[in-house]
Amino acid sequence: MAESNGDLCAAERKLVLADRFAAQLLSGPPAGTAVDVVERLLAVQGQDPRGARLAIRARSAGLHAADVDHALTDQRSLVITWLNRGTLHLVRAEDYWWLHRLTTPQLRTGNARRLAQEGVPADDAERAVTVIERALAADGALTRGQLRDRIAASGVRTQGQALVHVIGLASFRGIVVRGPMIGNEHGYVLVRDWLGTPPRAVRAAGLDGDLDTALAELARRYLAGHGPATDRDLAKWAGLPLRDARRGLAAIAGELDQRADGGLDLAGRRATEVLPPPRLLGSFDPVLHGWASREPILGPHQGIVTVNGIFRPFALVDGRAVATWTLSDRRVAIQPLVPLAAPEAAALDADAADVKRFLGVG
């Protein structure tokens, strides 16, 4: 398998990008629901609440941010929790079970190290997890601030990043997820109360227990929303060893096409040369997290769009980042990185209006 697209000519790179954008629902028919978007992408970067919702907007039509909140709070069809690479992700509730089992065990060592660095010894971390579990069992959904108060009252340090890593420990153990919206905040809930047991379809497929089955499903679903891609792209996105990525891809080899550009894709997928229309993408958009290299989209602007682990909202024109943007005081301000033609600027202004409509700030 090819390790990168660095040796492709410009025309070939454009074709690869066009197919990836189509897989990402950034071109072609839009999704109809928030759940449809998340099903296609499998896991949507979720540490920035507005960014996660804007990822839904960019891949659907006619939805509002409130539709995402409805799925999180009332339908319980979407949840946010720590998964791939130890990062918060938005996933379908039914996919939580096998993704959690597959992507979190390797995160626990790093979590223990960070807790120690934050001044939380192992015994204190255990006490804090017990406090979290008992508080949520007794009172239902609680915000981060409410959990902080309970944990601090037990004598466990919560300053700095300690609280985040304590809650992360409870998450990695499958005890908690982010559940309903409480005002403008996500509430934390017990997995057993909020999601119950793994759905029958998950159990029947063996996804809740069999590693090979889960790796195969990971590879299949990853390519559905990110193909064409390589084994290294999958490994980086999922936060798994390269050998596991290859194991998953090998398990579905009969379902794949090996492309001339070196990438893999699901067999029978129709290639496209169509790039997305001018569009504003939110912070931490999934299109920047699905592959080993961001250079094809960001080009010379990587140090502007991505700064110290922060992924800024940016504008996409002809498959490339051409501007960053902000929303403040109900106004979208676009800061070009390259000169924009009048039609491009007008299209981005129109999309800015849709951003405000979606967020309910117009």
Whether the pLDDT of residue 7 is over 70: the answer is: no
Tell me which H or E stretch contains 125. Answer: helix 122-139
What mean pLDDT is predicted for residues 93-119? 96
pLDDT of residue 202: 85
Whether the pLDDT of residue 245 is over 80: the answer is: yes
Q: How confident is the model at residue 300 (pLDDT cuts 50, 70, 90)?
A: very high
Q: How confident is the model at residue 119 (pLDDT cuts 50, 70, 90)?
A: very high
Specify the DSSP class assigned to residue 283. T
Specify the DSSP class assigned to residue 315. E
Q: List, for residues 182-215, the tens digit of each pLDDT value.
A: 998 999 999 999 999 988 888 877 787 789 999 9
Mean pLDDT of all residues in the chain? Answer: 95
Burial readout 87-124 (b: 16 or more C-beta within 10 A, e: otherwise): bbbbbbbbbbbbbbbbbbeebeeebbebbeebebeeeb
> How far does the chain reach from its first CA to its final CA, in angstroms?
47
What mean pLDDT is predicted for residues 333-340? 98
pLDDT of residue 204: 76
Domain coordinates in residue numbering, the chain: 105-173, 279-359
CB atoms within 10 A of CB 269: 16
Q: List, for residues 275-291, the tens digit of each pLDDT value.
A: 999 999 999 999 999 99
Q: How confident is the model at residue 176 (pLDDT cuts 50, 70, 90)?
A: very high
pLDDT of residue 206: 79
Percent of the chain with pLDDT over 90: 90
Higher pLDDT, 221 or 208: 221
